[in-house]
């Protein structure tokens, strides 16, 4: 799959942009474990123009995580153009436009998925950003605002005509948020449109290697994007790589051991503390620990989980993680 001059190879797998999740450290870990491309956290166009420090930090890219896209969102043409020009100076490989975020504080103000209620403005912003920068511009959106307005097949063509280099479609409407199941049949309909010639990346409910194989085999997408399944489990990319390699008859990379998975979590903790500070770094990483599938289904784990999510210092958290690792190992025997 190619985006502009960027060759991502066959059946690429991308890490989805997620606020408070896809910081530079996490992106690099996912890259090392098999992600072909990474996306930044959401970057507010308005905050970027105002030079808000927390927003400008999101433009930092580690050389080894490339190729990387920085994703911007906003509801105003001029601010999105200005933000895109600022982002271009940070030299990502791609600039991505967020027209898919469903949360109220974004979509409720007309940005993100909120733009699905104002298609003319969506197209105007897209055309203006494409014209304003020399980097490839891609876009992520949803099927439509709600079930009665699933307009993605026609919209994909219109967005292509605006000059985007690739399109990512999350298989839910804005009204669904993250409930129900992603509609991959609708994503397939977008791909089947003979007028669509840009790459199509499918997103939604890719949680396992089997899900990834199915997305490519049955729905014909050019690439896939993994979001929530990576939180607390960056090794999902290794699992997907193993499944895709087996499906293609290639050499299958080894599965990560429990110790290697725990090392990933410890690295996230350490780098989160280094990046922010001890107190906020631990708070930041709790989302990953709470979501990690590594601890799902472990007998009598509740008290350990509570202790893991309440540990106030790195030393106390490491002590809890040692107990947790032993419990995971015993459960797998």
Q: Predicted confidence band at 332 (pLDDT cuts at 50, 70, 90)?
A: confident
| Residue 114 per-residue DSSP state | G
pLDDT at 54 over 70: yes
95/50 same-domain check: yes
264/223 same-domain check: no
Q: Which of 222, 248, 274 is the last residue of a domain?
A: 248
Q: Predicted confidence band at 46 (pLDDT cuts at 50, 70, 90)?
A: very high
Q: Predicted confidence band at 333 (pLDDT cuts at 50, 70, 90)?
A: low
Residue 12 burial by Cβ neighbours in a 10 Å radius (0-12, 13-18, 19+): buried
Is the sign of the CA dihedral 64, 223, 116, 158 positive or negative? Answer: positive
Q: Which of 248, 269, 298 is the last residue of a domain?
A: 248
pLDDT at 67 over 90: yes
The 10s digit of each residue's pLDDT in 69-98 is 999 999 999 999 999 999 999 999 999 999
- 112, 130, 157, 176 alpha-carbon torsion, rounded to 10°: -10
241/262 same-domain check: no
131/276 same-domain check: no
160/139 same-domain check: yes
177/314 same-domain check: no
Q: Which of 209, 230, 248 is the last residue of a domain?
A: 248
CA 317 – CA 314 distance, rounded (Å): 5
What total of structural domains would you count in the chain?
Answer: 2
Question: Averaged over 41-55, what is the pLDDT?
Answer: 95
pLDDT at 1 over 80: yes
pLDDT at 120 over 70: yes
Residue 253 lies in a domain: no
210/319 same-domain check: no
Residue 211 lies in a domain: yes
Question: Averaged over 108-135, what is the pLDDT?
Answer: 97
Catalytic member of 101, 162, 207, 264: 101
The 10s digit of each residue's pLDDT in 293-329 is 999 999 999 999 999 999 999 999 999 999 999 999 9
208/267 same-domain check: no
224/288 same-domain check: no
Domain limits for position 301? 258-332
Question: Averaged over 17-32, what is the pLDDT?
Answer: 95
244/262 same-domain check: no
Taking a C-beta distance cutoff of 8 angstroms, is the pair 144, 151 a contact? yes
Name the nearest CA neighbour of 270 among 284, 283, 281: 281
CA 318 – CA 320 distance, rounded (Å): 5
The pTM for the full model equals 0.95
Residue in this structure with the two tokens 């949680």, named with its chain if needed: 207
Identify the pLDDT of residue 19: 93
Q: Is 264 a catalytic residue?
A: no
Q: What percent of the chain has pLDDT over 90?
A: 98
125/6 same-domain check: yes
CA 101 – CA 198 distance, rounded (Å): 22
The 10s digit of each residue's pLDDT in 195-238 is 999 999 999 999 999 999 999 999 999 999 999 999 999 999 99
70/167 same-domain check: yes
Residue 270 lies in a domain: yes
CATH (domain of 31):
3.20.20.70
């Amino acid at each position: 799959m190619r985006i502009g001059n960027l060759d991502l190879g066959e059946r690429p797998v991308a890490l989805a942009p997620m606020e408070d999740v896809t910081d530079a450290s996490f992106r690099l870990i996912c890259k090392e474990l098999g992600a072909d491309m990474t996306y930044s956290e959401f970057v507010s166009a308005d905050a970027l123009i105002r030079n808000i420090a927390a927003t400008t930090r999101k433009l930092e890219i580690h050389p080894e995580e490339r190729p990387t896209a920085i994703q911007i969102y906003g509801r105003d043409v001029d601010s999105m153009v200005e933000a895109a020009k600022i982002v271009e100076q940070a030299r990502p490989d791609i600039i991505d436009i967020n027209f898919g975020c469903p949360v109220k504080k974004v979509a409720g103000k007309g940005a993100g998925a909120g733009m699905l209620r104002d298609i003319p403005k969506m197209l105007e912003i897209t055309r203006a950003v494409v014209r304003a920068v020399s980097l490839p511009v891609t876009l992520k959106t949803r099927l439509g605002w709600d079930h009665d307005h699933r307009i993605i097949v026609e919209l994909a063509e219109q967005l292509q005509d605006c000059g985007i280099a690739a399109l990512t479609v999350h298989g839910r409407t804005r009204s669904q948020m993250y409930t129900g199941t992603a509609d991959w049949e609708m994503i397939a309909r977008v791909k089947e449109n003979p007028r669509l010639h840009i790459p199509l990346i499918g997103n939604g409910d890719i949680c396992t290697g089997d899900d990834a194989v199915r997305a490519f085999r049955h729905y014909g997408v050019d690439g896939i994007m993994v979001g929530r399944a990576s939180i607390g489990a960056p090794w999902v990319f290794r699992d997907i790589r193993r499944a895709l390699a087996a499906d293609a008859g290639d050499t299958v990379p080894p599965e990560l051991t429990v110790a290697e998975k725990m090392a990933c979590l410890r690295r996230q903790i350490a780098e989160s503390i280094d990046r922010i500070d001890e107190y906020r770094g631990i708070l930041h990483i709790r989302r990953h620990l709470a979501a990690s599938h590594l601890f799902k289904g472990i007998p009598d784990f509740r008290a350990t989980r509570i202790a893991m999510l309440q540990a106030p210092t790195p030393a106390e958290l490491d002590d809890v993680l040692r107990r947790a690792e032993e419990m995971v190992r015993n459960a797998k025997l």
